[in-house]
Structure 1
């Protein structure tokens, strides 16, 4: 069983993944750590670019049948055959902006990440790569334990994907300019 926890930066992937791994007694593979330790990060303005083809090759060797794989790059570097479920954590863009401010992200980087969450970019890309293995979970008003319990329900087949539509929420609040880069 290889479970992937992915989502936009700031949704809680590492927090949830570590808790789930501890309770499930599964190993963790942190995609960013693998890339960093393999020297695959290349600084580019405020971001780190990654050679996804090389990272994909490295990860092929590291993935076992009993692990939790964590990272926002998952849809771009993992193969469908090696994955049991891919959990996309979703979080309100209003919450994410606060997280990014706490992390010291620039306004541009904050908006890029929040707009990616609003548009569901990682969800879309995960569904293209993993089809029916993808499940979305809205973590906005959930505790860590509630989220872990939801993931366990997904793994056991007792829960389906949640529908998440931040674009509708942001549009209704007339906040498109707040989140999208000019």
Structure 2
């Protein structure tokens, strides 16, 4: 079984992936680590760009059976037929801004990532790539243990996708300018 854990930076992919790996005894394939080890990161302003086509070719050569694949690039480098389940972790953009501040992200990078989460870019791309294999889990205000229980329920087929609409929340809070306009 191959499980993907993806989502916007800062949602907890690595935390949940490592915890789930220990419980399930599945190995981890970290897409960012594969890209780094392959020399595919190119420093650009405040971010690292990746040659997705090259990374896709490298990932194709890896044995992805019985593992947890972690990374926000999953929808762009993985093939649908090699994946059993895709879990998209979602987190409130208000919480993400705090995470990005703690990580020392620039204001520009924080807004780009938070706005991507608001618009559900990775969720959209994951659904486009993996269709019915995608399940969303809202991790906002949930402990690691609670999220792990949700992940286990997803794997066992006992949970449906949680609908997440941060755009509606941000609009109701009249905060569109906070996330989309400088």
TM-score range, shorter chain: over 0.9
Distance 2:82 2:60 in 1: 8
Q: Which residue of 2 aligns with 1:155?
A: 155
| TM superposition shift of 1:181 | 3.8
Equivalent in the alignment of 1:65: 65
TM-score (norm 2): 0.98
Q: TM-score, normalised by structure 1?
A: 0.98
Tell me which residue corresponds to 1:139.
139
Q: Does 1:16 align with 2:16?
A: yes
Corresponding residue SS for 1:42: strand
2:61 is paired with a residue whose SS is helix
For 1:111, the equivalent position in structure 2 comes to 111
RMSD of aligned alpha carbons: 0.7
Find the residue that maps to 1:111 and give its secondary structure.
Answer: helix
What is the rounded CA distance, in whole Å, between the counterparts of 2:147 and 2:60 in structure 1? 28
Between stretches 49-58 and 66-75, larger displacement belongs to 49-58
CA distance in 2, matches of 1:61, 1:169: 41
In the alignment, structure 1 segments of 5+ residues that lack a partner are none
Q: Which residue of 2 aligns with 1:43?
A: 43
Aligned length: 182
Are the counterparts in 2 of residues 29 and 63 from structure 1 also a CA contact under 8 Å?
A: no
Q: Distance in 2 between matches of 1:46 and 1:135?
A: 31
1:95 counterpart residue number: 95
Partner Cα distance (1:136, 1:101) in 2 = 25
